[in-house]
Structure 1
C-alpha cells in the first residue's frame, strides 16, 4: 500500500464510493449559503424604500416575504446537505473501521506487541471519529461558504470597485492573524495527540493492573506513570491552546469589523457625490453578508489543522506490511510439520538459533524447558502469528509462506496460556471454533473438555455472558472453554501452549483424556510446564536457550538429558509437596469438623 499518499488522497479514496451523495451535499450547501446571503439584498431594498419615502405596503410585504422564504429555504437546504454528508460520512467511518479490523488480523504479532492496546483503540475509535467533521462539515460547508462570498465580491466590484476593495480591508488582517495561528500548528497538535496516545495506553495498563495496585495499596496519585501521563496530556493541551487561541480570537474579531472601513470612506464618497445613497446602503448590507460565511470557514481552520495528524495515525496501521501470503489455496499431502534452520530474533535479542525439528502427523509432540527458552516462539511461528525471518517452517512439505493465511488459520487450532473470551455467551465463545456448529455439537465439545458441568452450574448455563476477557470465570474455567473451542474447530494441527496451566488436577485428567481422543489423525503440539501430563507423548523435545537440547521418549530423556532429569525431579518434588499440603488441609478440616461435633 502506498505510504506516500497525501491526506487529501486518503480522504478522497475513502469517500469515493459515496461521491454522488457528497456532490449533492455540496450543491445543497451552496444553495443554502446563497439563500442565507440573498436576504441581505432584500433588506437593502427595504431600507432604500424607506429612504425614498416609499409608502406602498405591498412593496415591503413582497421583500419581507422574499427574505422570510429565503431564510426558510436556507435551513431546509442546509438540513438536506447535512443529512446527505452525514449519512455518507458515517458509512465511511464504518468502512475505515472495518479496514482497520481486517488489517490487524493480517499484521504480524510483533506490531501488536510493540503497539500498546490503548493506542490502537484510540486510533480505531477516537481518531476515526475525528474524520467526521472534515467529511461531513468541512467538505460541503467550507466549499459553499467560500463560493458565496466570492460571488458577492464579484458583484460589488461590478457596482463600485472602490467600495468592494474597502469592504475587504479586514480580510488580509484576519488572514495575517490566521497565518500566525497556523505556524507550527501541526507540530503542536501532534504533540497533543502523542501525549493523549500515551495517556490512553497508560490508562489501559492502569485498569488492567488495578488488582495489583489495590493489593499493594497504590492509589492513582502514587501511580507515577499514570499521573505523569495525565499531566503531560494536560500540559500539551494548554500549550496548544495558549499558542493558537489568541490569534484565532483576533481573527474572529477582525473579520466582522468590515464597517470600520466601509462607513467612513463610503460616507466620504457619498458626501463628494461619487456614491449614491442606494449603492452605499447596498454595499454596507452586502459587505456584512460577506463576513458571515467567511467566519464559518475560519471556524473550520482548527479541523483542517488536525486532519493531517489524524489521517497519518489511521494510515500508520493501514500501510503496515502484511504477512505476505498467496491467495490461491494449496493442496497438502500430509500435516507433518518440519522446521529447517529456523532462527528468530525479537528486536535485538535472538530467541531461536538454527532450530531443526520434525513433528509427525497423528502424533503428540511435547515441548518442555525453562521459561524463555523459545517454546512459545516456535509455536507462534508455526501458527504464523509471527513472520518467519530466517529458515523455513514446512507443513506437508509446503513452506507456510506459500500457504494462504485463511487456509493456514483454518488448519491450525491454537490455544495459548492467556485464553481470551469475548463479552458474549459461553455458547458463542465455544462456537467461535466453528460458527456453523449446532448447539448439540457445542455442548459435546464442552463435555469432552471437562467444562459442561461447571457451565450448567452457571446462572444461565450456556447463555451466561462470560464477560470481557472472560473476567466472570476463573482461569481454569476459561482454559477449558478455550480448549472446547479448539476441539470444536476440529483442525488437523493443534497447538496447546501451556493450555492447562490453570487447570486443577481433577479436571486436568479429564482434559488429557479428551486430548488423547483429539489427536487421532492430527498433528498435536503441546507446550507443558507439568511434565507428568506429557510422559506418554510420542516425542518430547527439550527446548533451552533457543536450541533443541534433546528429544525422545520420556524414559530415554531421563537417561540421556540432565536438564530434563532435573526438571522431572523438581516437578515430582513439587507434586509431593502439593500432595502433603492437600493432605494437611484435609486433616485440618477433619479435626475442625470433629471439634465442632464434640
Structure 2
C-alpha cells in the first residue's frame, strides 16, 4: 500500500479515520493526563515516608495524604473511562464505515480480480483484517500513549530529584532496544508468510465445513482431509519457527527493562550515605526508576501487532480502490449476436491452458464445447462470461470487445450458469428476481418451465414465496441448479453460457431443456459445455478442444467421420448407456 491508496492520494489512515479525529484526539489527551496523574500517588507516598520518619508521626497529615491518594485514583479512573469511551466509539464507527465501504466497493471490483481470491482470503480481508483495527483504535490508541508518556513523566520527576539517578534509570534502554531489534528481525516477511498460512487454513476450514456431511457419511475426520492436514502442518511449522526466533529476544527485552534496579539501588544508597539524597527521595527513585520502563513492554507488543494491522489494511485497501462505475448511456446489444474469439491465449500460473483460439459462435445458434477433462472448456466459457481476462487476443460480442464493456453491460449481454448454483437467503421469488427485478409472473414461469423447475416450485408449500436459506437446504442439489438456471434464463441475455448447468438432469430431461430453450429464445446465442454428447448432438456447431487447442469443429455427423477424439468419446458414451449390471441372455437381447 505504501502508506496510501488511490482515494485522492490521501493517506490510508486519514481516510479510514475520517470524521473520528476529534474523538481520538480527546482520547489521547485524556490518556496523557491520566499518565501524569498515575505518578502522583508515588509522590504522595514519598511525602508519607517523610512524615512517618518524624517523631511523632502526624496522623492528621497522613490521613490527608491518604485522601489525596484516593482522589488521584478516582481522577485516573475518570480520565481513563472517558479516554476509552471516546476511543471505542471511534473504533466501532470506523469498523462500520469501513465494512460498509468494502461491501459497496466489492460490487464494483472487476470479476477477474475477485475470481483469483479464495473464500478464505475474502473472509480474512472483509472480517479479520477489519476487526484488527478495533484493537488498534479502541485500545492501543490509549494504552500506547499512556505507556509512552509514563516513562517520560517519570523521567522528568526523577530529574527533579537527582539527574544522575534519572540517567542511570535509562541505562538499560539501549540494550533493550538491541534485544527488541533482534526479536523483530525479519518480522515483516514472517508476517506475510503467516498471513498466507492463515488464508490457506481458513480456506481449508471453510471447505471442510461445507463438506462435513460428506466426510461424516464416509466416517472421515479432519486428518483424512488432505488440504486441511497440509494447512495445519504448515501453520504449526511456521508458528514453531516464529516462537523460536521471537522468544529469546522477548525474554531479554523483558529482563533488561527491569535491570536498572541493579544500578539504581547501590548508587542511591551511596548518594544517601553521602547525604545528597534523602530517604524519602530514595524511596521515590527506587519505586519510579525500577518500574518506569515496564510500560514499554506494551509498546513493544504493540509494535509487533501494528505490523499485522498495517498488513491487514494493505490487504483490504485494494478493494477500496475500485471506483464506482460511471452511469453512462452505454447501449446493451440486442437481438442475435455473434461471438468471436480472436487468437485467445490463457495460462494459469505460467501453465498454458488455451493456445491461439480462433472461434466464431454464429449469432442465434447453439455451439457445444466438447473434449476431455482439462482441455480448457470451462476456461473458454469463463473468458466469455468476463470471469477471466485473456493473456492475449480478444473476445468480441456483436463486434464489440468484451473487455471494453462495463460490468453492467457485460452482465446484461452475457449470462453465465455453472454447475455450482448458489441460493441466497430469502424466498424462491427473491432468488429468481436478482437479475431482473421487474419480471412479470408469465416471464417467471416461462423461465421455470424451460429450466424444468416449474413443477417442483408449484409443489412447494408457498410456491414462489417459499423461504430458503443461503445453502438452499430445503432444496436438493438438482433443484438448486434448476433455480440458478431459471434465474439466468429470466435475464434473457442475448448470449448464454452453460457450463455443465444441466448436470442435475437425466438425458431425457436435458434434451427437453435444450428443446424448450431454443423454442423460447430462438435468437439467443448459446455456448454449452456438456459431457453427455447425446444431448448436444443436434447443436448447429460442435467444437472439439484438446489440450487447450481447437482440434476440430462441425456438426455431429461430420465430426464422427473426421475427428478421432470426438468419435472415441461418442462410442464410449454409447457403450456406457448400453451397459448393464447383469449379463443379458440372448432372449433378453432379442426382446429388447
Q: Provide closer, same or farther for how the CA distance between residues 41 and 298 of structure 1 changes in structure 2, counting only shifts above 3 A.
A: farther
- Between the aligned partners of 1:286 and 1:324, the Cα distance in structure 2 is 56
Query: Which residue of 1 is the match for residue 49 of structure 2?
Result: 47
Query: Which residue of 2 is the match for residue 349 of structure 1?
Result: 352
Given that 2:26 and 2:86 are in contact with CA atoms closer than 8 Å, whether structure 1 keeps it comes out as yes
Per the TM alignment, residue 295 of structure 1 is displaced from its structure 2 partner at its CA by: 3.8
Query: Which residue of 2 is the match for residue 432 of structure 1?
Result: 434
Pairing partner for 1:476 from 478, 502, 511: 478
- Between the aligned partners of 2:451 and 2:488, the Cα distance in structure 1 is 10
What is the TM-score when the length of structure 2 is the normalising length? 0.81
Query: Which residue of 2 is the match for residue 386 of structure 1?
Result: 388
Verify: 1:183 aligned to 2:185, yes or no: yes
Query: Which residue of 2 is the match for residue 516 of structure 1?
Result: 518
Q: What is the SS of the residue equivalent to 2:21? A: helix
- The structure with more helix, counted as a fraction of residues: 1
Query: Which residue of 1 is the match for residue 367 of structure 2?
Result: 366
Given that 1:118 and 1:201 are in contact with CA atoms closer than 8 Å, whether structure 2 keeps it comes out as yes
Q: What is the SS of the residue equivalent to 2:354? A: strand
Q: What is the SS of the residue equivalent to 1:106? A: coil
Deviates more, 1:238-247 or 1:328-337: 328-337
- Between the aligned partners of 2:446 and 2:63, the Cα distance in structure 1 is 82
Query: Which residue of 1 is the match for residue 494 of structure 2?
Result: 492
Query: Which residue of 1 is the match for residue 331 of structure 2?
Result: 331
- Between the aligned partners of 1:158 and 1:462, the Cα distance in structure 2 is 81
Per the TM alignment, residue 482 of structure 1 is displaced from its structure 2 partner at its CA by: 0.5
Per the TM alignment, residue 481 of structure 1 is displaced from its structure 2 partner at its CA by: 0.5
Query: Which residue of 2 is the match for residue 544 of structure 1?
Result: 545
Given that 2:154 and 2:288 are in contact with CA atoms closer than 8 Å, whether structure 1 keeps it comes out as yes
Per the TM alignment, residue 163 of structure 1 is displaced from its structure 2 partner at its CA by: 2.0
Q: Provide closer, same or farther for how the CA distance between residues 198 and 563 of structure 1 changes in structure 2, counting only shifts above 3 A.
A: closer
Given that 1:367 and 1:375 are in contact with CA atoms closer than 8 Å, whether structure 2 keeps it comes out as no
Query: Which residue of 2 is the match for residue 593 of structure 1?
Result: none
Q: Provide closer, same or farther for how the CA distance between residues 506 and 98 of structure 1 changes in structure 2, counting only shifts above 3 A.
A: farther
Deviates more, 1:482-491 or 1:447-456: 447-456
- Between the aligned partners of 1:272 and 1:230, the Cα distance in structure 2 is 64
- Between the aligned partners of 1:340 and 1:223, the Cα distance in structure 2 is 39
Q: Provide closer, same or farther for how the CA distance between residues 392 and 462 of structure 1 changes in structure 2, counting only shifts above 3 A.
A: same
Q: What is the SS of the residue equivalent to 1:391? A: strand
Q: Provide closer, same or farther for how the CA distance between residues 554 and 191 of structure 1 changes in structure 2, counting only shifts above 3 A.
A: closer
- Between the aligned partners of 2:448 and 2:60, the Cα distance in structure 1 is 85
Given that 2:427 and 2:466 are in contact with CA atoms closer than 8 Å, whether structure 1 keeps it comes out as yes
Per the TM alignment, residue 91 of structure 1 is displaced from its structure 2 partner at its CA by: 4.2
Per the TM alignment, residue 161 of structure 1 is displaced from its structure 2 partner at its CA by: 0.9
Deviates more, 1:209-218 or 1:491-500: 209-218
Verify: 1:454 aligned to 2:449, yes or no: no
Q: Deviations over 1:199-221 (max 9, x none)?
A: 33444454556677667765544
Q: Provide closer, same or farther for how the CA distance between residues 190 and 487 of structure 1 changes in structure 2, counting only shifts above 3 A.
A: closer
- Between the aligned partners of 1:425 and 1:212, the Cα distance in structure 2 is 27
- Between the aligned partners of 1:532 and 1:239, the Cα distance in structure 2 is 57
Per the TM alignment, residue 415 of structure 1 is displaced from its structure 2 partner at its CA by: 0.7
Per the TM alignment, residue 549 of structure 1 is displaced from its structure 2 partner at its CA by: 5.5
Deviates more, 1:488-497 or 1:443-452: 443-452
Query: Which residue of 2 is the match for residue 262 of structure 1?
Result: 264
Query: Which residue of 2 is the match for residue 121 of structure 1?
Result: 123
Per the TM alignment, residue 268 of structure 1 is displaced from its structure 2 partner at its CA by: 1.9
Q: Tell me, which stretches of 5 or more residues in structure 2 are unaligned? A: none
Q: Cα RMSD between the aligned structures?
A: 4.3
Equivalent residue runs for 1:577-592 within 5 Å: none
Q: What is the SS of the residue equivalent to 1:300? A: helix
Q: Deviations over 1:347-396 (max 9, x none)?
A: 32241424131432xx2322232134444333222221111332222223
Per the TM alignment, residue 146 of structure 1 is displaced from its structure 2 partner at its CA by: 0.9
- Between the aligned partners of 2:107 and 2:331, the Cα distance in structure 1 is 27
- Between the aligned partners of 1:418 and 1:488, the Cα distance in structure 2 is 18
Q: Provide closer, same or farther for how the CA distance between residues 253 and 464 of structure 1 changes in structure 2, counting only shifts above 3 A.
A: farther
Q: What is the SS of the residue equivalent to 2:39? A: helix
- Between the aligned partners of 2:300 and 2:558, the Cα distance in structure 1 is 79
- Between the aligned partners of 2:184 and 2:493, the Cα distance in structure 1 is 57
Q: What is the SS of the residue equivalent to 1:496? A: strand
- Between the aligned partners of 1:221 and 1:571, the Cα distance in structure 2 is 37
Pairing partner for 1:27 from 23, 26, 29: 29
- Between the aligned partners of 1:21 and 1:443, the Cα distance in structure 2 is 55
Given that 1:540 and 1:552 are in contact with CA atoms closer than 8 Å, whether structure 2 keeps it comes out as yes
Q: What is the SS of the residue equivalent to 1:388? A: coil
Per the TM alignment, residue 531 of structure 1 is displaced from its structure 2 partner at its CA by: 4.2
- Between the aligned partners of 2:338 and 2:257, the Cα distance in structure 1 is 72
Query: Which residue of 1 is the match for residue 88 of structure 2?
Result: 86
- Between the aligned partners of 2:18 and 2:232, the Cα distance in structure 1 is 39
Per the TM alignment, residue 414 of structure 1 is displaced from its structure 2 partner at its CA by: 1.1
Query: Which residue of 2 is the match for residue 106 of structure 1?
Result: 109
Query: Which residue of 2 is the match for residue 420 of structure 1?
Result: 422
Q: What is the SS of the residue equivalent to 2:412? A: helix
Deviates more, 1:435-444 or 1:259-268: 435-444
Query: Which residue of 1 is the match for residue 237 of structure 2?
Result: 235
Given that 1:332 and 1:398 are in contact with CA atoms closer than 8 Å, whether structure 2 keeps it comes out as no
Pairing partner for 1:132 from 130, 134, 141: 134
Q: Provide closer, same or farther for how the CA distance between residues 340 and 495 of structure 1 changes in structure 2, counting only shifts above 3 A.
A: closer
Q: Provide closer, same or farther for how the CA distance between residues 554 and 245 of structure 1 changes in structure 2, counting only shifts above 3 A.
A: closer
Q: Deviations over 1:114-155 (max 9, x none)?
A: x54434434443344334333333333212321232133134
- Between the aligned partners of 2:68 and 2:446, the Cα distance in structure 1 is 75
- Between the aligned partners of 1:520 and 1:324, the Cα distance in structure 2 is 35
Per the TM alignment, residue 467 of structure 1 is displaced from its structure 2 partner at its CA by: 5.2
Aligned residue pair count:
576
What is the TM-score when the length of structure 1 is the normalising length? 0.80
Query: Which residue of 2 is the match for residue 595 of structure 1?
Result: none
- Between the aligned partners of 1:323 and 1:391, the Cα distance in structure 2 is 26
Q: Provide closer, same or farther for how the CA distance between residues 31 and 517 of structure 1 changes in structure 2, counting only shifts above 3 A.
A: farther
- Between the aligned partners of 2:536 and 2:14, the Cα distance in structure 1 is 57
Query: Which residue of 2 is the match for residue 153 of structure 1?
Result: 155
Given that 2:4 and 2:11 are in contact with CA atoms closer than 8 Å, whether structure 1 keeps it comes out as no
